[in-house]
Amino acid sequence: MRFILLVLSVPLFAANTYSQTNALADLMGAPGAAVLDVAVPGPVAVESYPDYEQDRKPAAQVSNAGGVRVLAGVRFERDAKANIYRWGELRIEDAALEEVYFGFRSASVGHNFIMFSFKDGAKLVVEVLPWKKRGEKFDPIVAGTTGKYDLVWNLVSFDSFLETAVGSQGLYVDVYPMKLSREEKLRMLDAAIAEATRDYRGEKYNTLTNSCSSNALKVFAKGTGHHLVLGRMLPSVVIKHLKMRGFLGEAQHYDSSNWNKL
């Protein structure tokens, strides 16, 4: 099996990654070392959050020394028959960071996320989601703005992200390489991991102010020093603004025709 490293994701306004309604639109205003070997993540024998959706859960940074990080709670491949994901640890090396991407996933108003790629081909997605209960339908307008949902950051291998979004749900995914300096890329990686692995107990998801898009832009601001005021913007509009400001390269597009040909 391939060892997948990092990808990241986050939207400013995007409501949930996997279930959002079009009604939301009414609210809108218009350096060289190779990555170390990754330990094979073992299967999770007992689900740690049995009451919640199984495609998302809190992550942790087990260690960070000498430019080498060990992350726990990273989502890997899904057993399609049992519909169970494999979660485990991922070891990455900062010096092997290659590119940083700002992402968009379709479905209703869409979803933003950040992704990191490494020299061995590994990719890690970082994304923010509402932490829904099992089978719960996401309500972006009322529940999504009144504190019903806890906020959770998700660390996912890009292969797993594509399998769920494109392979299972029939959506499409675009990732845009960011036009950043080496120092900015490293600062974005550091900011993304720090944000994704801190304690979020008691913090609520908010469709307008504490969402996938807003948190992705927060990581962008911490890494680059550029603060974009894009309140109440659709994830697609966030992409347009970043492109207009010259931060994004050409999109790499994944749909049913190519998602599993990485």
What local confidence, expressed as pLDDT, does residue 31 receive?
Answer: 40
User: Does residue 41 or residue 117 have the better pLDDT?
Assistant: 117
107 domain-assigned: yes
Provide the pLDDT for residue 124. 98
Q: What is the pLDDT of residue 152?
A: 97
Assign 231 a pLDDT band (cuts: 50, 70, 90).
Answer: low
Which helix (H) or strand (E) segment holds residue 239: the answer is helix 235-244
Three-state SS string across 180-236, please?
CCHHHHHHHHHHHHHHHCCCCCCCECECCCECHHHHHHHHHHHHHCCCCCCCCCCHH
Asked if residue 143 is part of any domain, the answer here is: yes
Question: Which residue range is the domain that position 216 belongs to?
Answer: 22-254
The pLDDT confidence band at residue 230, using thresholds 50, 70 and 90, is low
- Of residues 43 and 50, which shows the higher confidence score? 50
pLDDT at 118 over 80: yes
Average pLDDT over residues 213-222: 95
234, part of any domain = yes
Residue 13 lies in a domain: no
For residue 7, being part of any structural domain is answered with no
Is there a contact between 130 and 219 (Cβ–Cβ < 8 Å)?
Answer: no
Model confidence at 250, in pLDDT bands (50, 70, 90)?
very high
**So what's the pLDDT on residue 128?**
97
Mean pLDDT along residues 49-63: 93
> Would residue 165 count as lying in a domain?
yes
Cα 78 to Cα 82: distance, rounded to the nearest angstrom: 8
pLDDT surpasses 60 at 255: yes
Examine residue 2 and state whether it is found in any structural domain, yes or no.
no
Which range of 89-98, 130-139, 143-152 scores highest in mean pLDDT? It is 89-98
Q: How many domains are contained in the chain?
A: 1
pLDDT at 233: 73
CA 109 to each of CA 19, 152, 217: distance values in angstroms, whole numbers, following the listed order: 10, 19, 17
Task: Report how far residue 244's alpha carbon sits from residue 251's, in angstroms, rounded to the nearest whole number.
Answer: 14
150-157 and 84-93 beta bridge pairing: unpaired
pLDDT tens, position by position, 58-116: 999 999 999 999 999 999 999 888 888 999 999 999 999 999 999 999 987 789 999 99
The pLDDT, as a whole number, for residue 212 is 93
Tell whether 262 is covered by a domain.
Answer: no
Q: 45 versus 165: which is more confidently predicted?
A: 165
pLDDT digits (tens, 9 = 90+) for 1-35: 444 444 444 343 333 444 443 433 333 333 433 33
DSSP assignment string, 85-138: EEEEEEEEEGGGEEEEEEEEE-STT-EEEEEEEETTS-EEEEEEEEEPBTTPPP
What integer pLDDT is reported at residue 170 of this predicted model?
A: 95
